[in-house]
Amino acid sequence: MKIVVIQGPNLNMLGHREQSIYGAMKLEDIHAQMQNVAKQNNFDIEFFQSNFEGEIIDKLQECLGDANGVIINPAAYSHTSVAIRDAISAINIPVVEVHISNIYRREEFRQKSLTAPVCAGQIAGFGPFGYHLALMAIMQMLAEIEAIKKKSEAAVKQ
């Protein structure tokens, strides 16, 4: 099974930008840890980062038929992008939204996520560890979906 991790604008600057909010860990380090966990659990994982809304939408659309689940940190686009929300909704696969900071403790304009309501769940405020939590969540969701499929197939055979 394949999980795609999509990172939004400015996340390529992790480890450099506003360390008091986002921490000192670089995006490459987060991805390396996720890669190790995915490999241990027999999942393929792919990483993508873009500062451009259209590229994020294109990547979400590419996930249809190619990925079983998505972890996304839309970053600032969480609060502004109806287009990314629509793309998440259109692919109809489990998506978990991640935010490094607790967006609900930040500026008022950051406290509303347009994308979260079309995701299976949202993890916010746990720093880089939130990605690990999201990975655990998506792997569990996919395992449950697979179990339901197998149960349905077995019932049809009877």
Write down the catalytic residue from 16, 77, 79, 99: 99
At 84, which helix (H) or strand (E)?
Answer: helix 82-91
- Cα torsion angle, 5, 10, 12, 15, sign: negative
Q: Which DSSP symbol is given to 147?
A: H
- Asked whether residue 23 carries a pLDDT value surpassing 90, the answer given is no
CATH number at residue 69: 3.40.50.9100
Q: Which domain, by its residues, includes 130?
A: 2-157
Which pLDDT score, from 0 to 100, does residue 153 have? 83
Q: Which DSSP symbol is given to 118?
A: G
User: 109-119: per-residue pLDDT in tens?
Assistant: 777 899 999 99
Model pTM? Answer: 0.93
79 is catalytic: no
- Stretch 8-37: mean pLDDT, rounded? 90
Please state the domain count of the chain: 1
Sequence letter at residue 120: A
- Stretch 89-108: mean pLDDT, rounded? 92
User: 99-151: per-residue pLDDT in tens?
Assistant: 998 888 877 877 789 999 999 999 999 999 999 999 999 999 999 999 998 88
Q: Sorting pLDDT into bands at 50, 70 and 90, what band is 9?
A: very high
Write down the catalytic residue from 22, 31, 79, 104: 22
- Asked whether residue 24 carries a pLDDT value surpassing 90, the answer given is no
CA of 32: how far to CAs of 7, 13, 35, 68, 83, in Å? Answer: 14, 16, 5, 20, 29
Question: Rounded mean pLDDT of the chain?
Answer: 94
Which pLDDT score, from 0 to 100, does residue 64 have? 95
